[in-house]
C-alpha cells in the first residue's frame, strides 16, 4: 500500500532478507525468528516514490560494507512525513553532498547528475530514482536518474505538485571481471518513462532516446539493453471473472510499450529486453495497482505457475491467422495449451496468496537472457524458480520480517 510512513521499514526488512541481517528486537523479552541463509540476488526493484532520501544514506552506509551484493533500484521521495513525492533542487543538492560523504562511494558516478542538476532552476521539483550496488572492487556505485516523462498526476496548477521533466538519459553497464561473462546493461526508469507519451520538451522518450540519441553516451554506447527496471506507481484495470472473483490487467500503455520494445526498429536496442516492474497494490488515491513482476519477450511455454502469479501472454490461437492479442489472466490455462505466444507478463496476483500482507516480494530467475537464447534450440522456460515472500509484524513493538 502507498503509505510513506511505512516505506522505510518495509525497505529495510526486504533488504535484510537478502543480506542475512537479523533485526534487532527492541523488546529484549521477545524472541525473533532468525533470518535464514542470505538469498543471492542480481536485482531488486521497489516502487516509485518509495524511499526517503535520509533512509537511502543510512542504507548506503550499511550496503558499502557488503561484499558483492546485487543491484537495488528504488524511487526516492523527501522525508516520510512529506505528502509530496517530488524533490526540490536544494534538497537534491543536499542529497549529493550527503552521498559524497558515504565511505567507499565512487564520486565520479554522480558527476553527470550533479552537472545536470546545477543547470536546473532552484524552484524546480523532480521525481528521482536511484540504482546502487557494490562492485567487484568493494566500491559503492550509485546512479541517480530523474524522471523524464511526467504522469497525469504530476502535471498540476500548484507549483509544488508540478513535476519538472528531466532530460538526463541514464543506463548502467555491468562489466564482469570474468571475461567468460558478458556485459549486462540496465536502463532504470520511473513509471511513465516507459510509456509512449508526449514530452514537454519535445525530446525523445527514454526508450527511443537510447536508440536515437545514443551518441550522448560518448564513444561507447551500449549495443543492447538487457534489463529495463521500472519503479512504478500506476493504476491497473480491474475486471470481474464471476460474482465475487476479480483479476487485474496491466495498463494498456505499458502493454503497448512491451510490444514496441520487442518489435519496433525504433527500439532496436530493446528487442531482447526483459522489463522488471514494481508497483503498489493500492495507490495513494486508493485505486487498484499491483501486478509487480516482469515482461519477457519469449514464448509462454506450457508449464504451470503458482496461484500467486498472474500471467498475461501476447500471441494468438495455434493455427489462427488473426492478429496477436493480449490474453487475460483468467485465460492462462487455455493459453498454455492452445496458443502460440511471443512473450508474456508474469506478476504478483493482487488477489492471490497473502494478498493482505504488509508487503510481498515476488522472486524469479531469468533462466537465460533472451539475447542468449538460440532460435534453433526451441523454446524453454524463461522465468523460472518463482518464489513468494511476505511481510508480517513481529516483536514488541512490532517489527517487520519477511517469511516464505
Tell me the pLDDT band of 243, cut-offs 50, 70 and 90: low
**What is the pLDDT at residue 362?**
96
Determine the Cα–Cα distance for residues 220 and 294; give it in Å rounded to an integer.
28
User: Does the pLDDT value for residue 263 go beyond 80?
Assistant: yes
Q: Per-residue DSSP letters for 270-339?
A: GTTPEEEEE--SB-TTS-B----EEEESS---S----TTEEEEEEEEETT--S--EEPPGGGHHHHHHHE
User: Does the pLDDT value for residue 173 go beyond 60?
Assistant: yes
**What is the pLDDT at residue 4?**
94
CB atoms under 10 Å from CB of 266, counted, come to 13
What predicted TM-score, i.e. pTM, was given to this entire model?
A: 0.93
Tell me the pLDDT band of 39, cut-offs 50, 70 and 90: confident
Determine the Cα–Cα distance for residues 27 and 24; give it in Å rounded to an integer.
9
**What is the pLDDT at residue 338?**
94
How far CA 189 is from CA of 5, 140, 226, 234, 238, in Å, comes to 24, 21, 13, 13, 25
Whether 217 contacts 171, CB under 8 Å: yes
User: Does the pLDDT value for residue 93 go beyond 80?
Assistant: yes
Mean of all residue pLDDT scores within the chain: 90
**What is the pLDDT at residue 25?**
43
pLDDT tens across 175-210, in order?
999 989 999 999 999 999 999 988 777 778 999 999
What crossing angle do the helices spanning 4-19 and 53-63 adopt, rounded to 10°? 10
Element (H, E) at 10: helix 4-19
**What is the pLDDT at residue 160?**
85
Query: Grid coordinates in use for 253?
Result: 500503455
Residue 397: is it exposed, middle or buried by C-beta count within 10 angstroms (0-12/13-18/19+)? exposed
383-394 β-sheet, strand order: 360-366, 383-394, 399-403
Domain regions of the chain by residue span: 4-24+38-367+380-403
State the pairing for strand pair 125-126/237-242.
unpaired
Determine the Cα–Cα distance for residues 123 and 13; give it in Å rounded to an integer.
35
User: Does the pLDDT value for residue 282 go beyond 70?
Assistant: yes
Tell me the pLDDT band of 34, cut-offs 50, 70 and 90: very low
Amino acid at each position: 500500500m502507498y503509505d510513506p510512513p511505512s516505506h522505510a521499514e518495509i525497505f529495510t526488512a526486504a533488504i535484510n532478507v537478502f543480506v542475512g541481517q537479523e533485526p534487532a528486537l527492541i523488546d529484549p523479552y521477545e524472541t525473533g525468528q532468525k533470518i535464514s541463509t542470505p538469498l543471492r540476488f542480481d536485482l531488486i526493484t521497489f516502487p516509485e516514490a518509495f524511499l526517503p532520501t535520509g533512509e537511502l544514506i543510512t542504507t548506503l552506509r550499511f550496503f558499502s560494507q557488503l561484499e558483492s551484493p546485487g543491484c537495488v533500484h528504488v524511487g526516492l521521495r523527501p522525508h516520510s512525513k512529506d505528502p509530496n513525492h517530488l524533490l526540490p533542487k536544494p534538497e537534491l543538492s543536499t542529497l549529493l553532498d550527503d552521498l559524497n560523504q558515504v565511505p567507499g562511494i565512487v564520486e565520479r558516478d554522480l558527476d553527470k547528475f550533479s552537472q545536470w542538476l546545477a543547470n536546473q532552476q532552484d524552484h524546480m521539483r523532480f521525481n528521482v530514482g536511484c540504482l546502487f550496488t557494490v562492485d567487484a572492487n568493494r566500491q559503492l556505485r550509485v546512479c541517480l536518474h530523474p524522471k523524464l516523462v511526467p504522469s497525469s498526476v504530476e502535471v498540476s496548477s500548484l507549483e509544488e505538485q508540478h513535476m519538472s521533466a528531466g532530460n538526463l538519459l541514464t543506463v548502467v553497464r555491468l562489466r564482469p571481471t570474468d571475461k567468460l561473462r558478458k556485459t549486462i546493461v540496465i536502463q532504470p526508469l520511473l513509471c511513465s518513462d516507459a510509456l509512449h507519451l508526449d514530452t514537454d520538451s519535445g525530446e525523445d522518450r527514454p526508450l527511443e532516446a537510447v536508440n536515437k540519441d545514443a551518441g550522448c553516451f560518448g564513444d561507447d554506447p551500449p549495443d543492447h539493453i538487457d534489463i529495463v527496471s521500472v519503479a512504478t506507481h500506476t493504476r491497473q484495470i480491474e475486471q470481474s471473472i464471476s460474482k465475487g472473483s476479480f483479476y487485474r490487467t496491466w495498463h494498456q500503455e505499458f502493454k503497448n510499450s512491451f510490444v514496441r520494445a520487442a518489435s519496433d526498429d525504433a527500439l532496436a536496442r530493446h528487442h531482447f529486453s526483459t522489463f522488471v516492474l514494481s508497483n503498489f497494490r493500492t495507490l495513494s488515491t486508493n485505486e487498484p495497482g499491483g501486478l509487480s513482476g516482469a515482461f519477457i519477450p519469449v514464448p509462454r511455454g506450457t508449464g504451470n505457475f503458482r496461484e500467486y502469479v498472474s500471467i498475461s501472454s501476447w500471441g494468438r490461437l495455434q493455427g489462427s491467422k488473426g492478429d496477436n492479442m493480449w490474453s487475460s489472466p483468467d485465460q492462462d490455462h487455455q493459453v498454455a495449451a492452445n496458443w502460440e505466444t511471443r512473450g508474456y507478463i508474469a506478476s504478483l496476483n493482487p488477489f492471490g496468496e497473502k494478498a493482505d500482507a504488509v508487503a510481498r516480494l515476488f522472486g524469479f530467475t531469468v533462466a537465460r537472457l533472451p539475447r542468449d537464447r538460440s532460435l534453433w534450440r526451441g523454446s524453454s522456460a524463461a522465468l523460472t524458480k518463482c518464489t513468494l515472500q511476505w511481510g508480517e509484524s513481529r516483536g514488541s513493538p512490532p517489527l517487520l520480517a519477511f517469511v516464505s
